[in-house]
Structure 1
Amino acid sequence: MPASRTERLLNLLIALLNTKYGLRRSELRETVYRDVYGNEASFGRMFERDKTDLRKFGFEVETLTDLGWSEDDPATTRYRIGKESNRLPDVQLGPEEWTVLLLASQLWERAALGSAAQSALRKLQASGGMADVQLPAGVQPRIKPAGQAFDDLVAAIHAKHPVIFTYLAGSTGIEEQRSVEPWGLGSRFGHWYLVGHDRVRRETRHFRLSRFTSAVSIQEREQFRPPRDFNVRQELERLPELPLSTAVVDVRAGRLLALRRRAIAQDEAGRNSAPVSGLQGPETGSDRLILQYRDPEVLAEELASYGPDALAVAPPELVDAVRRRLRAAADFSAAPVPEYKFADAPARPVRPRTSEDQLKRMLQLVPFLVHNQGLHIQDVADRFGISRKELENDLQILICSGLPEGYPDDLLDIQWDDDHVYITQDLDLTKPVRFTVEEACALLTGLETLNSLPDVAEGGALESVTLKLLAAAGEEGLRAASVAGPEVAPADAATHALVRQAIESRAQLHLTYFSPQRDSVSVRDVDPLRLYSLDNTWYLEAYCHSVEGLRNFRLDRVQEIHANGRPAAVRATPAQGVPAKLFTARDDDTTVTVQLTRQGRGLADDYYAERTAELDDGGLVADIRFGNTAWLPMFVAQHGGSVRILEPAEHAEAARAWLAASLARYGG
């Protein structure tokens, strides 16, 4: 959709919104379509396509006819859009409700629903104004979606398109192509599951996203109708947890302290346990560990990352899973390097922007400016997640748009000469468009997820803002129930409470911390700054006095923690941005160029890629900064064929050697 079409649709919308009795096709052709060439038949087809596009945005175009005449007669048929058509109702929120809503919107961070959540917030700001609130220390939870497959499935669920993907069945270990009508997506037992109708097996099935072995292909030419009474949360609650199984793993002496801490005694596993009995002893220089696990794929991902330092011995399904990941990583690392070119601009969100995005943004921009007069133009661009140049392009189109007559008073009047944006003529675009189903899903699913946090769930703000948003979202709010978020409550509530209290009282903490990348334990004194999470894994952002810089510590890797009696330093401040980044950039970081498959392209967002280049197969090449390059081979092995290193060459070669040594332990 070129920019001229964007402008035409905007002018058509304004014209149909600002007519009481409706406009005939001839009037629209002479005004809105005056620069469009072609005969009457081609104009008619264009007009019908434009009406369809407006309906996609939620604006229902009414058809009016003079009494006694037929709709087939263009001379007597008129068109209009009701003033309140698809307008978001006013939603008035108090400071406590805004606090809860901000927490819910930030749960999704850099996933597709994160963009939808920010878009919904802008609509609410334009609808009722936003109170000046500050997020509480220690309560910044986030949801970590399952890569690109998550975004693709959410889009397919809401558009009601079937999907095709390759899946590794947990019960049989067989990899098969599946054709599924996706009904819902949710988190259970720490994993994301798709629930839908398997077209081949003709029954409802659950598919764990970590077992997808291909990208998700959306069948956009087909649609399905989900069951009316489907509830993804109820469906996932019936899903039984996998039973505990026993694994045998040989670990090189003195290595993998974290894995050793989880090992159990053989008598605890059972002396007659099949995976343990009847096996040859470990090779010289290795220790045998007995581990318990529920899912072989989860343990295989961890063991693959350890490379030659760990060898899965039993059961066979675990051995095969580790070998398959290492082989996929080695094959990808040895493949020819594709041609690619980085864009001149910094890395942008993975999904390319379209003119439909631009029109949606404009429909938010006008009411936002009406209710936020005089903002600096860069502040407005930052609010909408675009560059200043993109915003100015939007404003240039807007000031040329208006009523069909085209007089000065009939055009949108926006000024930004002094870099502060003012709007004095809004042409009845003062209210934002209703929530899309993605926007409703992002906020309502986020609010429901916060129910697991006692500090947030207590009091009535969470319940009241949920009810208000359900009322405002209407039908889209009901459809939003197709996604269910994970539990975000911390596993160790006592440690979480201790750290939060230290943040509020600005007290220094003394902690003993295990680092898996360095495979070592260290003792630190830190000034705690804030807590945040990925699902129910919580992190502490703190100023570390040992390294004299900001660091992030996983709470479940803190072996001991207590206040040391000293106050936190005044100079320590959190890193910029909310929510906090999991990785803090440093001057001595190494920029690494990696290639990501379509399946693994979400890693570019997870690791804050500085620039990206699109590939023809749907993958990406990305520049990512790493502080500890010794960890890179583990990073490649862990993701089993979804990522490889291109530059620097020595790090690419180190990863290939690591993978070769790892496969050698499994027979090559």
Structure 2
Amino acid sequence: MPAKVPERLLALYSLLVARERPLSRAQIREGIEAYRELGSHAAFERTFERDKAALRQLGLELGVEHRYGEPVYSLDRFGLWLPEVRFDAGERLVLGMASRLWEDPRYGEEMDRAVWRLGLPASEAAHRSRIAVPGLDPGGHGFEVVLSALPRGEELSFDYRPGDGLTRRRRRLRPWGVGQRFNHWYVSGWDPERGEPRTMRLSRMSGIVSGPSDAPEPPPGFSMTRTLEDLADSGGARLRLRFAPGLLPVVADWLEAGTGLRRDPAAGEPERREGVVVLRAEVTDLEECCRCLAEVPGEVEVESEDLGPKALGEVWGRVAELTEAAARLTRLLESAPAQDAGAPHDPEAPRTRRRESNPRRFLRLLDILAYLGSRPGTTVGELAERFGATRRQIGRDIDAIAAAGDYLIGGGDLRIESLDGELYVHLTQHLDRPLRLPPEQVLRLLLAMRLLAEVAPELDPTIAAVTEKLARVAPEDSLDAEQVSIRVEPRTSGIVDRLRSAMEGGRSVVLAYRSRGREAATPRRVLPRDLYTTNGSWYLSALSLEHGDERTYRIEAIERVEEDASDAVATPAEGRRRDAAAASRPGRESDAVAPDLARPGPGVTPSAPDAARPERLLVWISRGAPRIAEQLDGETLRPLRLAEDPAPGVPREGDVVDIELRDRSGLRRYMLHHAGCVAPLGAPGWWTRA
């Protein structure tokens, strides 16, 4: 049977670690049975090149020298292994809390592995803090490229669209720091073209690639925290919006989200003139403003002295492009064979297990080896508890380690034995040492620490101690803690503090809350049970004292929090139910930019028939817009490639996704907002009915 990739990588790593002198390609092939089994020299060359690339991608650099006209290889051992670092009980608690803040499951698994390497058992890493902390959303592939380039001093090249424009141009930036404010990620650094520092929003950067740079390093004393403090979320051009009164809830949703438009702080309440509402607003992002207007094409008039006739013409041109892209995609998908999209949705059917990547498995095998090497006699059960896995999973890992040892000629460098249920390994020198954390993982932990410091200042001394120790576990001089920062706005922090205090004290409060689709806020008496976040947005789960059931409320839609004069207090049974609900939450819930489109909206309970028999809908979602599937909380059934292009710049590859439909007209607006990227599948007339 051909060798599996993780076992082959482990054999290659073990061979290179065991040899003090560099090895030629012929020596490597001779020393690893898995390479000899490949047969032809060409097959070995292809496989070895892939394995080298996989190790380098994981931060295990292979040094290359030339001796007698041929390349020889060795592992670059500088900064390869983790220095000794110890955390006390309080520091372990904070580190475990920080490791759970990243919402992306891939990042969560990486953080788990990082804190395991730092000495935290799985039980501490998985600790769910009672402190309400917003989750960290990486915001797409570009974030990973930035985090990788930052400690390496590389330069970014990308297409950039300014907030007050609709066109992109190629830009360059050598990043000095990265941080989050106003629920957006920002990258600060040196702009070689302008010859000065610049700060850019990550969501406006696309097509990001990295490469060598000769731009200057961060100056002494550079602080991303100060950079974020100097940012202003002030609006751009001022507008007057005119629309029918029935559209006021829709416009209110736009202003509350603030991604494209925001209420002009200098303006008062909306004016009503002869059956028309006039509302003053500011543009926060012109492209997002166009997407808002495209939700109700032709139904909102716009006046603006700041933009002028030419810019307004470009706005309406962009709105027309978006509506046409949505219509075109809908026409392409109306006749699609929906019946072949997949099996009927079964809510009781288990979800398909996500396949673990080969590099991720290889790293876990290395971590298990390091743990066994320093603790001989460990049992399978102890390993399962240590790494948060099942006994069956650990058993497969042990078999994989044994197979990797078999692939080494002689097998003496890597051998594993089981005596009376206890495991013992025979290792070459250094295999019993854990790998040093790559800079990207340290940066993610540091960002999480920054966020903890923002919302839990009582932890500041402990956070400072952990941050200092984390700086020692990355390769020397690869990063500075001042290069990352998080800022939570005072309004959000104040509301969350009051809700957290009420939740911990078991007291009820009165919220001034505006539901989506409503014009104004109304009072809601609630008993707070849980605070959580998805994709940077805060949510409150609370018992509605008026309705007697648990509902979800958006923090951004809460205008104020007041003490409840009736002072309802949670009973011990209610407190236990609240704790059980928090403990049983399956990770962080999926994001809902418009949560009531495909499932019950926050603070809104569907009618009984809908709740009992929710309608389901198949939609096509472009592969170029993966966040839409998360936001609609759907289940991917199969891929579907379109016969024609759905819209300029939108890939034809997509997925058929099964969603639960709650608000037909709201979902239509959402599809218009994300024109060309999502549409109903095999449902003629759906668009018109919506």
- TM-score category, normalised to shorter length: 0.7 to 0.9
Which one of 123, 132, 145 corresponds to residue 139 of structure 1? 132
Shift of residue 515, structure 1, vs aligned partner? 0.6
Alignment match of 2:209 (pick from 198, 215, 218): 218
Are residues 142 and 96 of structure 1, via their aligned partners in 2, closer, same or farther at CA, if it must alter by over 3 Å? same
Change (3 A) 1:423 1:202: farther
Aligned match of 1:15: 15
Match in the other structure for 2:416: 412
> Does structure 1 residue 178 correspond to structure 2 residue 178?
no
Kindly indicate whether the alpha-carbon contact (under 8 Å) linking 2:535 and 2:591 is maintained by their aligned counterparts in 1: no
User: Which of 662, 670, 675 lines up with 1:635 in the alignment?
Assistant: 670
SS in 1 for 2:529: strand
- Residues 307 and 92 of structure 1, relative CA distance in 2, 3 Å threshold: farther
2:302 is the alignment partner of 1:312:
yes
Q: Deviations over 1:580-623 (max 9, x none)?
A: 55569776554443333455212333454432645673654433
Q: CA deviation at 1:12?
A: 2.3
Matched residue, 2:217? 228
Verify the 8 A CA contact 2:99 2:445 in the aligned structure 1. yes
Q: 1:652 to 1:110 in 2, by over 3 A?
A: farther
What is the number of residues matched between the two proteins?
621
Cα distance between partner residues in 2 of 1:548 and 1:116: 40
> Any conservation in 1 of the 2:297–2:323 contact (CA below 8 Å)?
no
> What is the DSSP-based 3-state SS (H/G/I as helix, E as strand, rest coil) of the residue aligned with 1:144?
coil
CA distance in 2, matches of 1:367, 1:398: 12
* Aligned CA-pair RMSD: 5.0
The Cα shift of 1:178 comes to 1.2
- Residue 191 of structure 1 is aligned with which of 184, 202, 209? 184
Residue 292 of structure 1, CA deviation? 4.0
Give the Cα–Cα distance (whole angstroms) in 2 for the partners of residues 232 and 378 of structure 1: 41
Match in the other structure for 1:467: 468
Q: Secondary structure at the match of 1:565?
A: coil
**Residue identity in the other structure for 2:511:** L
Work out which of the residue numbers 247, 250, 275 in structure 2 matches 1:285. 275
* 1:451 partner letter: A
How big is each residue's C-alpha offset from its partner over 1:488-547, in whole Å with a ceiling of 9 and x where there is no partner? 355154432332122112223343421114556555443322223468753212233555
Identity of aligned residues (%): 24
> C-alpha displacement at 1:443, in angstroms?
0.5
Contact 1:137 1:503 survives alignment (8 Å): no
C-alpha distance in structure 1 between counterparts of 2:296 and 2:386, whole Å: 46
- The whole-number CA distance in structure 1 between the counterparts of 2:105 and 2:327 is 27
Instruction: Look up the SS of the partner of 2:568 in the other structure.
Output: strand
Q: Distance in 2 between matches of 1:12 and 1:467?
A: 34
389 and 238 in structure 1: CA distance in 2 versus 1, 3 angstrom threshold: same
Which amino acid letter does the alignment assign opposite residue 472 of structure 1?
V
Shift in CA distance, 524/626, structure 1 to aligned 2, threshold 3 Å? farther
Q: 2:85 aligns with which of 88, 91, 104?
A: 91
- Kept in 1, the 8 Å contact 2:365–2:397? The answer is yes
CA distance in 1, matches of 2:145, 2:126: 34
Alignment of 1:215-294 (within 5 A): 215-216=206-207, 218=209, 223-229=212-218, 233=224, 242=234, 245-257=237-249, 285-294=275-284
Q: Secondary structure at the match of 1:471?
A: coil
Deviates more, 1:519-528 or 1:371-380: 371-380
Show CA shifts across 1:32-57 (max 9, x none).
14634568898689768756754554
d(CA) in 2 for partners of 1:180, 1:21: 41
Residue 103 in 1 paired to residue 128 in 2? no
- Amino acid of the structure 2 residue aligned with 1:645: P
Q: State the AA in 1 paired with 2:95.
A: L
Partner-residue secondary structure (3-state), 1:551: strand
What amino acid sits opposite 1:288 in the alignment? V
CA-CA distance at 1:328 after TM superposition: 1.6
Determine the C-alpha separation between the residues in 1 that align with 2:474 and 2:137.
25
| 2:344 corresponds to 1:363 | no
What is the CA-CA distance between 1:84 and the residue it aligns to? Answer: 9.0
For 2:680 and 2:202, how far apart are their aligned partners in 1? 24
Bigger mean CA offset, 511-520 vs 468-477: 511-520
Structure 2 equivalent of residue 506 of structure 1: 506
Aligned counterpart, 1:273: none
Contact 2:639 2:654 in 1 (8 A): yes
State the secondary structure of the residue aligned to 2:118. helix
- The AA in structure 2 aligned to 1:411 is R
**Following superposition of structure 1 onto structure 2, how do residues 326-365 of structure 1 map, counting pairs within 5 Å?**
327-335=321-329, 336-337=332-333, 346=351, 354-365=357-368
Farther-moved stretch of structure 1 (340-349 vs 637-646): 340-349
The equivalent residue for 2:627 is 602
2:32 maps to a residue whose letter is: V
Q: What residue ranges of structure 2 are gaps of 5+ in the alignment?
A: 257-261, 344-348, 601-610, 642-650
Amino acid at match of 2:463: L
Instruction: Find the aligned partners of 1:396 and 1:195 in 2 and give their Cα distance.
Output: 47
Distance in 2 between residues matched to 1:197 and 1:378, nearest whole Å:
47
Unaligned runs of 5+ in 1: 65-69, 271-275, 656-668
1:472 shift after superposition? 1.2
Farther-moved stretch of structure 1 (92-101 vs 39-48): 39-48
1:372-425 CA-to-partner distances (Å, cap 9, x unmatched) read: 8544998789x57xx99987765543221227355699523479x9xxx97432
**Paired residue secondary structure (1:397):** helix
CA–CA separation in structure 2 for the residues paired with 1:373 and 1:491: 51
CA contact (8 A) 1:156 1:218 kept: no
Q: What is the distance in 2 between the residues matched to 1:43 and 1:112? A: 31
Contact 1:612/1:623 (<8 A) preserved: yes
Asked if 1:35 is matched to 2:36, the reply is yes
Question: Which residue in the other structure is 1:117 paired with?
Answer: 111
CA distance, structure 2, for counterparts of residue 509 and residue 355 of structure 1: 50
Task: Note if contact 2:132-2:496 (Cα within 8 Å) is conserved in structure 1.
Answer: no
Matches within 5 A, 1:403-552: 404-406=408-410, 410-413=414-417, 423-425=423-425, 427=427, 429-453=431-455, 455-456=456-457, 458-475=459-476, 478=479, 484-489=484-489, 491-517=491-517, 521=521, 523-533=523-533, 537-545=537-545, 549-552=549-552
For residue 568 of structure 2, what is the aligned residue in structure 1?
566
Q: Counterpart of 1:398 in 2: which secondary structure?
A: helix
Letter in 1 for 2:474: A
**Corresponding residue of 1:72:** 68
**Offset of residue 334 of structure 1:** 2.1
TM-score (norm 2): 0.72
- 1:576 equivalenced with 2:566 (yes/no): no
Q: Distance in 1 between matches of 2:57 and 2:551?
A: 46
Once the two structures are TM-superposed, the CA of residue 462 in structure 1 deviates from its matched residue by: 0.5
How far 1:461 moved relative to its partner? 0.6
Cα distance 1:640–1:377, how it changes in 2: closer, same or farther (>3 A)?
farther
1:285 Cα deviation from its structure 2 partner = 3.4
1:611 aligns with 2:607: no
In the TM superposition, residue 463 of structure 1 has moved relative to its aligned partner by 0.1
**Partner secondary structure for residue 467 of structure 1:** helix
> Is 1:593–2:618 an aligned residue pair?
yes
**Aligned with 2:201 (options 197, 208, 224):** 208
Per-residue CA deviations over 1:4-30 (Å, capped at 9, x if unaligned) read: 444223112223334578878776544
8 Å CA contact retained: 2:636, 2:655: no
For the residues of structure 2 that align with 1:267 and 1:447, how far apart are their CA atoms? 33
TM-score by length of 1: 0.74
Cα distance change of structure 1 residues 581 and 544 upon mapping to structure 2, 3 Å threshold: farther
Secondary structure at the residue paired with 1:250?
strand
